[in-house]
Structure 1
Amino acid sequence: MKIRQYFHPEKRLFSLKKWGILLLLSMTGALAALEPALASPANKHGSISVNPQPHDWQQVWQILALTGYVHMVYGTYMGPYGGIHSMAAWNVPVPQALQKISDNWGYSPFNPAFRSGLIQFEREDHLLNRRGISRGRVTPEVLQALRAPIPKNHFPFQWVEVDKSAHPEHLKIWQVPPVTQKKAQGHWIYQTVVNTGVMHSTPDGSWPIYQRLAKTTMTGKFPIAVSLHTYHLLPAAERSIYHGYHVRWQYYTAPNVHFVNYFYDGRAIHFYPRKGYGWPQSAGCVEEPYTNARKVYALLHYGDIVSVLGHYQKKTVKISYAEILKKQIIREIATGKIS
């Protein structure tokens, strides 16, 4: 399948070429609604003035897309047998893995790219204090701020991929600098080994960074696998079935945790001292060595999308080895060594 896409204020065309047939896409909601707003010229400061209605997240989406805070909309196309499919249309170059997962995020106020843009706008417009938390929601404060001239987003687009599909686990950062030339270029700017959570406590999914702290104290519960016999001896408040495991919960307090980037339900990318890195060890966070964590903290900012991808998989047997094993078994059966 060959895909060609165009997303530009002056060239709003998005097409899909598949099986030799050119199919025009009908952009759902956001891109179609951009038409009237694009007709309004920017002011001398390079910003636009808008008047969003209360609780209209679709209009907020189009405003943030116009000012460079949200970098994608959705299109639909008809497949070869009449099926309707949706596809994420990015206005910045993204890796294939991000394109694949974003096709399934859906057009809703819970979309990670939309929430990412909201958080970046809140930070840029000083709606958050130094230790502020933003969940990426359309609030009255956001609506009020959007009624004023909106400066364009000057932050680069960044995506954090946390890969736990194989050892060693690792984190990579994809960056597309702000558009200063005709065509934006994206590239991987950093990679580090990491630890994720035991018993799949770092779930798969995508979320924007909603709080960043140079240092903090973390508290929580750590799951420890126990036998069924031990499980039944524990008080009900101290035990649980967690992702298919019988566990007891051990409370912990971790002071002086450095370089913290919270992205989902108390889970964060941060430094934590370990004897080694590259496999599940945490209670759900993504842990890094000190020097690497300091570098990552300097590169990331509010709203960057973090995607946790992959489960541990057993290595597949190579075909060549399987053929050798098969011949050996046949030979042993023929010679009577295996009955």
Structure 2
Amino acid sequence: MTLGSAPSPILHRSDLRPPRRARRRALWGFCAAATVVLLGFAGAVWEWSGATLVADTTALARVEVQPFGGTLEHAQLFGPGGRAIALSVRNDRLTPQVRLTPGERVSAEVVIRRPGWLAWALGSKRRERLTLRAPVAHVSERWLTVPLESAVQVRFDRPVSAVAEGANGHLVFRVLDSARRSITLPRRAAAGSLAVAVAARSWERLGSPVAVSWFPPARSPILLSSPAPGAQLTPAAPIRLTFSKPLAAVFVTARPKLSPRTPGRWQQADSHTLVFVSSGFGAGFSTKLRVELPRAVAVVGRAGRGLHTTRRLDWTVQPGSPLRLQQLLAQAGYLPLDWQPSGPTVARTPHAELQAAVDPPKGTFSWRFPNTPRELRALWSPGRPSEITRGAVMMFEDSHALAVDGLAGAAVWHALLADAIAGKRRVTGYSYVYVHSSVPQSLTLWHDGHTVLSSPGNTGVPAAPTQLGTFPVFEHIPVGTMSGTNPDGSHYDDPGIRYISYFNGGDAIHAFNRASFGTPQSLGCVELPLASAAKVWPYTPIGTLVTIEN
């Protein structure tokens, strides 16, 4: 019988080693895991503790703070040159409290305070800065083709919050109930044009207005004219022609021609619009302007509905103001009155003077001399045609080598405005002649507040009386031949008559050899002794007023 061996009571040393190494490995594993966790947490904190400043769709900018980023402590806005801009902060959005111009460059700066438990590692504060521009909204299409019964819809490249539209510089402003990408314009005609200005944000100013034009469908180019054909315009007013098709398709070679010839030139405002911009004093007052087009175009009728085809457009330049004419003549020394404006003086520029010529400034006339004859005072009527004004115009025309007709035409206005700009003033004084036709008849010459001469004279006989009234001298000659018909039908021809000043048809002041003076003896003229006529003549240039009174 074989017996099994019993376990040996003897143990190996390796079996008796304590579990120290295993514990050490476990500790190192735990430390490694903790390190990984800590590094992950630190990474997460680093990743989620950021803050950024970005543009916003309603405010100017907004702050995006991550979960561990902290809180917004301070915000500032700066305009060009470091100018501070007031702002409000709501829900981390930065909104200007003053109106910004679309496209204006703005810098935003914010300060973020980090949590205290994070501040020791990353710092207590974080600063972010962003430079951006206030948004600008643009009209998507400025030349629209719109069926007659359809509304005019204007679209934009981004939503807008406020809009103003109108014509001739008069825009009506309105705030939209919500930002939108299109608006509807009022339509009063088949074709038309309105200026449109918009703001993308409620805190912005309106942008520069742009013209939006609409046209009905048509095969031929349609023309919008401003001013409308047939209207009155001021001498310096631009003539704006807007076409439904691009200019390159309307005018292949030639351009429109303006007549009569007017200083200025045609300018292309955009791809559809030509503008004639005058220079100097522009078109003459009371003239008719015509534009000849190189091809026929369709123009909206006066009622604003139908279209008619034409190659000609006509306007009338409005006349100058009679009141402004008198103001200028007074300032230039051609009237016995002075004029002073109630407000600022008119600037010495063509534009300002032209504007004043159609819209005269307020002011006051005053007599230059306290002893102005009552006969002369009775002739004055501010703002209305009068013999005083007519005589002054004739004197001005003569002194400027213009045709003397007493009418303030384009040439007179241009010369007057040029003198006003240059500050020129007539310095030879103002004369007035009045003749008493009651016996004993006499002539009185008044000049610059003084009676220069009072002389006996002769007026017309009962068969050829001197007409009563006030007349300006229209011809002024030192010596000439006077001829005509006597009351009995015979003809007379008197050469060598001295010091002649014609004032009414064939009636004149002149020297004549008579045995006596002071009674009716002439055929309508005012006859004076030679010495008196010689003294009067230098004071009676063209335009001098002569009053024949009873």
- Give the TM interval when normalised to the shorter protein: 0.5 to 0.7
Are 1:155 and 2:432 an aligned pair? no
Q: Distance in 2 between matches of 1:154 and 1:100?
A: 21
Q: Distance in 2 between matches of 1:144 and 1:100?
A: 28
Matches within 5 A, 1:95-114: 95-99=372-376, 101-102=378-379, 108-109=384-385, 111-114=386-389
Are 1:90 and 2:367 an aligned pair? yes
Are 1:307 and 2:540 an aligned pair? no
Change (3 A) 1:275 1:116: same
- Aligned match for 1:138, one of 394, 399, 408: 408
Q: Distance in 1 between matches of 2:419 and 2:366?
A: 26
- Aligned match for 1:217, one of 460, 481, 501: 481
Deviations 1:313-336 (A, max 9, x none): xxxxxxxxxxxxxxxxxxxxxxxx
Which residue does the alignment assign to 1:202? Answer: 466
Which residue does the alignment assign to 1:166? Answer: 439
Identify, as 1 or 2, the structure richer in strand: 2
Task: Give the secondary-structure state (helix, strand or coil) at the position aligned to 1:269.
Answer: strand
Q: Distance in 2 between matches of 1:194 and 1:219?
A: 20
The answer on whether the counterparts of 2:457 and 2:519 sit within 8 Å (CA) in structure 1 is yes
- When normalised by structure 1's length, the TM-score is 0.55
The answer on whether the counterparts of 1:117 and 1:303 sit within 8 Å (CA) in structure 2 is yes
The CA deviation at 1:96 is 4.6
Which residue does the alignment assign to 1:257? Answer: 497
The CA deviation at 1:275 is 2.0
Identify, as 1 or 2, the structure richer in helix: 1
Matches within 5 A, 1:1-339: 53-54=285-286, 55-56=319-320, 58=322, 59-72=324-337, 90-99=367-376, 101-102=378-379, 108-109=384-385, 111-127=386-402, 134-150=404-420, 151-167=424-440, 169-176=441-448, 186-199=449-462, 201-223=465-487, 248-310=488-550
The answer on whether the counterparts of 2:434 and 2:445 sit within 8 Å (CA) in structure 1 is yes
Q: Distance in 2 between matches of 1:96 and 1:297?
A: 20
Q: Distance in 2 between matches of 1:50 and 1:62?
A: 18
Task: Give the secondary-structure state (helix, strand or coil) at the position aligned to 2:333.
Answer: coil
Change (3 A) 1:69 1:96: closer
Task: Give the secondary-structure state (helix, strand or coil) at the position aligned to 2:517.
Answer: coil
The one-letter code sitting in structure 1 at the alignment partner of 2:516 is G
The one-letter code sitting in structure 2 at the alignment partner of 1:212 is H
Change (3 A) 1:96 1:158: closer
What residue ranges of structure 1 are gaps of 5+ in the alignment?
1-48, 75-87, 129-133, 177-185, 224-247, 311-339
The CA deviation at 1:252 is 1.5
Which residue does the alignment assign to 2:147? Answer: none
The CA deviation at 1:100 is 5.9
Bigger Cα Rg: 2
The CA deviation at 1:203 is 1.3
Deviations 1:136-182 (A, max 9, x none): 22233213322423421212111111111222x11111111xxxxxx
The answer on whether the counterparts of 2:431 and 2:539 sit within 8 Å (CA) in structure 1 is no
The CA deviation at 1:73 is 9.2
Q: Distance in 1 between matches of 2:281 and 2:543?
A: 22
Change (3 A) 1:68 1:95: closer
The answer on whether the counterparts of 2:458 and 2:526 sit within 8 Å (CA) in structure 1 is yes
The answer on whether the counterparts of 2:335 and 2:430 sit within 8 Å (CA) in structure 1 is no
Which residue does the alignment assign to 2:298? Answer: none
Which residue does the alignment assign to 1:33? Answer: none
The CA deviation at 1:124 is 2.5
Task: Give the secondary-structure state (helix, strand or coil) at the position aligned to 1:149.
Answer: helix
Which residue does the alignment assign to 2:243? Answer: none
The CA deviation at 1:288 is 1.0
Q: Distance in 2 between matches of 1:162 and 1:60?
A: 28
Deviations 1:184-206 (A, max 9, x none): xx121111111101116211111
Q: Distance in 1 between matches of 2:337 and 2:547?
A: 16
Change (3 A) 1:197 1:89: farther
Q: Distance in 1 between matches of 2:336 and 2:470?
A: 15
The answer on whether the counterparts of 2:435 and 2:547 sit within 8 Å (CA) in structure 1 is yes
- When normalised by structure 2's length, the TM-score is 0.35
The CA deviation at 1:307 is 0.7
The CA deviation at 1:261 is 0.7
The CA deviation at 1:255 is 1.2
RMSD: 2.8
Moved over 4 A (4+): 49-52
Task: Give the secondary-structure state (helix, strand or coil) at the position aligned to 1:195.
Answer: coil
The one-letter code sitting in structure 1 at the alignment partner of 2:518 is G
The answer on whether the counterparts of 1:121 and 1:153 sit within 8 Å (CA) in structure 2 is no
The answer on whether the counterparts of 2:333 and 2:429 sit within 8 Å (CA) in structure 1 is no
The CA deviation at 1:304 is 1.7
Q: Distance in 1 between matches of 2:328 and 2:281?
A: 8
The one-letter code sitting in structure 2 at the alignment partner of 1:197 is G
Change (3 A) 1:147 1:204: same
Aligned length: 208
Change (3 A) 1:116 1:50: farther
